[in-house]
Amino acid sequence: GAVVSQHPSRVICKSGTSVKIECRSLDFQATTMFWYRQFPKQSLMLMATSNEGSKATYEQGVEKDKFLINHASLTLSTLTVTSAHPEDSSFYICSASRDRVSGELFFGEGSRLTVL
């Protein structure tokens, strides 16, 4: 079964509003989670690394004030797309590692955001 869960799976919002996406590790604690974005017919692009209890680390070119990440507990990271615009419409995916030895990442089901 799924070990990383995202909510909501689909969200439609009006331009200018903010949208929050949750990522939960279901049966393990994740001090680090990763957020990706994927546009149609493109590969996944790493946006940021979410660190429990500290600030997220953003990839070059990703606006930290636009994409707010909060990792308040060992099982939950949230991504908030602030003042969303149509160009923010995308598939957002989170991931976490359950096993530090293997380094294997488990991915959530993804959240499809459509901004009207």
Partner 1 sequence: DAKTTQPTSMDCAEGRAANLPCNHSTISGNEYVYWYRQIHSQGPQYIIHGLKNNETNEMASLIITEDRKSSTLILPHATLRDTAVYYCIVSGRGTSGSRLTFGEGTQLTVNP
90 is a site residue for partner 1 (CB under 8 A): no
Binding flag, residue 32, partner 1 (CB under 8 A) = yes
Q: Could you tell me if 80 and 20 are in contact, meaning their C-beta atoms sit under 8 angstroms apart?
A: yes
Q: Which of residues 91-110 bind partner 1 (CB under 8 A)?
A: 91, 93, 95-97, 99-100, 102-110
Q: Answer for the pair 12, 66: CB distance below 8 angstroms, yes or no.
A: no
Please tell me the count of residues contacting partner 1 according to CB under 8 A: 29
Tokens of 41: 């017919």
Cβ atoms of 104 and 97 within 8 Å: the answer is yes
Q: Is 11 in the site for partner 1 (CB under 8 A)?
A: no
Backbone angles phi, psi at 82, to 5 degrees: -90, 145
Question: Can you read off the two tokens belonging to residue 59?
Answer: 């990839």
Q: Based on the shown chain and the rule CB under 8 A, indicate whether residue 58 belongs to the binding site for partner 1.
A: no
Where does this chain bind partner 1 (CB under 8 A)?
A: 4, 6, 30-32, 34, 36, 43-46, 49, 91, 93, 95-97, 99-100, 102-110, 112
